[in-house]
């Protein structure tokens, strides 16, 4: 029974940014996450159970994305692949309000509030939105919308910030490295983390 439960928790979830030819169909993107989502309301926010996920292309190195030049050789719109271990999954159609603290995050729905991720990567999918600030220690991949009405940096990460085609960030960003793809919009100033 323990082995069966562990095997069920290790099911694969493919995270596609930009919707390339090897991205999973839209129905599969949220159906697994929606089945695994367990939320209970608290006074200020919701708790969502983390779901372990594994990426086939990134299995050779933990928390690694496929190299950008490898993706461009396969197809100009090929999906960036990221390994998410014990990721907090917010499925498409979900709305969460409040402060969120997690190790890594896969955002496919809407989140209103500030987010602090202390380990793995953060993925904000196409159609997802974050209205607040994001502080992360790992890499951040955005193909959705991020913005905040207050001043200051909306995304702060010591890792690499990737803005995929169709991404929109309204506000300043602070990052170790910035990868800005054609079709991405950054309405703000990009600064290094050393500043």
Q: Give tens-digit pLDDT for 180-190.
A: 999 999 999 99
Confidence band for 194, pLDDT divided at 50, 70 and 90: low
Q: Is the pLDDT of residue 127 over 60?
A: yes
Q: Give tens-digit pLDDT for 69-114.
A: 333 333 333 455 666 667 889 999 999 999 999 999 999 999 999 9
**Mean of the per-residue pLDDT values of the chain:** 69
pLDDT of residue 37: 40
Confidence band for 150, pLDDT divided at 50, 70 and 90: confident
| CA nearest to 13, candidates 109, 100, 89 | 89
CB atoms within 10 A of CB 132: 20
CA–CA dist 165, 172 (Å, integer): 18
* Contact yes or no for 29/125 (Cβ under 8 A): yes
Q: Which residues pair with 62 in a beta bridge?
A: none
pLDDT of residue 149: 66
**73 three-class SS:** helix
Spatial neighbors of 122 by CB under 8 A, at least 6 apart, are 104, 105, 107, 115, 134, 136, 138, 139, 140, 141, 157
Confidence band for 3, pLDDT divided at 50, 70 and 90: low
**47 three-class SS:** strand
If one compares 85 and 168, the residue with the highest pLDDT of the two is 168
pLDDT of residue 42: 32
Q: Give tens-digit pLDDT for 19-30.
A: 444 444 444 444
The CB-based long-range contact list for 174-179 (8 Å cut-off, 24+ gap) reads 175/140, 179/68
pLDDT of residue 87: 81
Look at strands 95-97 and 153-157 and give their pairing. unpaired
- Could you tell me what percent of the chain has a pLDDT over 90? 47
pLDDT of residue 152: 72
């Amino acid at each position: 029974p323990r082995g069966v439960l562990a095997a069920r928790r290790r099911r694969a979830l493919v995270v596609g940014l930009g919707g390339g030819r090897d991205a999973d169909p839209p129905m599969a993107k949220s159906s697994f996450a929606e089945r695994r989502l367990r939320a209970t309301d608290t006074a200020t926010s919701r708790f969502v159970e983390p779901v372990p996920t594994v990426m086939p292309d990134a299995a050779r190195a933990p928390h690694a994305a496929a190299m950008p030049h490898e993706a461009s050789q396969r197809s100009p719109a090929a999906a960036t692949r990221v390994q998410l271990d014990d990721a907090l999954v917010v499925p498409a159609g979900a709305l969460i309000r409040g402060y969120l603290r997690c190790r890594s995050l896969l955002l496919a729905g809407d989140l209103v509030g500030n987010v602090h991720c202390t380990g793995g990567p953060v993925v904000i999918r196409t159609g997802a939105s974050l209205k607040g600030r994001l502080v992360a220690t790992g890499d951040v991949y955005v193909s959705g919308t991020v913005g905040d009405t207050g001043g200051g940096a909306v995304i702060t990460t010591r890792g690499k910030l990737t803005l995929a085609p169709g991404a929109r960030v309204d506000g300043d960003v602070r990052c170790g490295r910035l990868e800005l793809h054609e079709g991405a919009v950054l309405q703000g100033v990009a600064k290094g983390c050393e500043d």
